[in-house]
Amino acid sequence: MLTRIPSALIAQAMCAGAVATVVATATPAAAQTDVPCSAAALAGAISTANALGGGALRLSPGCVYGLTTPLPAITSTISIDARNSTITRVSAAGFGILSVSPSGNLAITKVTITNGDAPDFGGGIANRGRLSVTDSAIRNNHANFSGGIGGGSGTVTRIEGTSIMNNTANVNGGGVANDGVMTILGSRIIGNTAVNGAGGGAANDGTLQITSTNVNENRAHRAGGVANFGGGTTVITSSNVNSNIADVAPGGVLNTGGLVVLNGSRVNGNTPTNCAGSDVPVLNCTG
């Protein structure tokens, strides 16, 4: 497993074709709620939306929501238009920034999430339900697994137009780790680190599709770029996996089992190798 998921979550296998058709979207019927520039107001707005069975929140533009305690988990269908605001941990105590429960469905746009420090997985966002992140920045977060965004077993995660940068995991998935179905479109996964594990940029043992995305300059003990584990399926289309570094080959893309497909993608300039040394050869990858 990439992440230690509560026993209430049931692991399930999903086919690669589901990635293109299953997306996480939040479509609450409730009226939009403006959230003042206050961490307490944000926590209260989430709690109220959960209690009402959903809601649409609009944050104060450019606000820094400094958290001293964890925000309530998303348990209903909630959309958050962050309007270029930042949600960050300012407490010495460690906790992740956002979490989505199995019953939750979060769609968040135009947010910067930073300085999360989760003891388990998902330092920036821990998804146990459904999640969509658009036009955002997930940076400088930390967790045991999936420093930036973690998708647990049975989850659906969609990431589009987002920078996932300078996040750190102790084990696997410095930028993202996925045990469910995850789609990454038109994004950047850069400068992330998996200190003692694999997949500095991304680690997968579910179904992962990376399209039109740069996975560059990440680091790991093995597979600085992308690591595919067990029976996982990773499809990388029209993307770059370049200049990643690992202590143990390969530096670019690792497949320990399952399937890795490269469609019109470049895997170049990784150290010590691009794909050579992978447990299962990565087709259409040389060096």
Note down the domain range covering 48. Answer: 25-268
- For 65, 80, 109, 187, 244, the CA distances from 84, given in Å and listed in that order, are 11, 11, 8, 17, 29
Instruction: Report the predicted TM-score, pTM, of the whole model to 2 decimal places.
Output: 0.90
Determine, yes or no, domain membership for 6: no
Determine, yes or no, domain membership for 1: no
Give me the amino acid identity at 41. A
Angle at 127 between CA 144 and CA 180, to 5 degrees: 90
Helix, strand, coil percentages, rounded to 5, for the chain:
5, 45, 45
Domain total in the chain: 1
Determine, yes or no, domain membership for 115: yes
Determine, yes or no, domain membership for 280: no
Q: pLDDT tens-digit profile of 232-268?
A: 999 999 999 999 999 999 999 999 999 999 999 999 9
Determine, yes or no, domain membership for 227: yes
Q: pLDDT tens-digit profile of 79-96?
A: 999 999 999 999 999 999
Between the two ends of the chain, the Cα-to-Cα distance in Å is 28
CA 43 from centre of chain: 22
* pLDDT at residue number 1: 41
Q: pLDDT tens-digit profile of 178-227?
A: 999 999 999 999 999 999 999 999 999 999 999 999 999 999 999 999 99
Determine, yes or no, domain membership for 35: yes
* pLDDT at residue number 31: 77
3-state secondary structure of 84: strand
CATH number of the structural domain spanning residue 106: 2.160.20
Which residues are bridge partners to 82 per DSSP? none
3-state secondary structure of 21: helix
Determine, yes or no, domain membership for 14: no
User: What pairing do the DSSP bridges indicate for beta strands 202-204 and 226-228?
Assistant: parallel
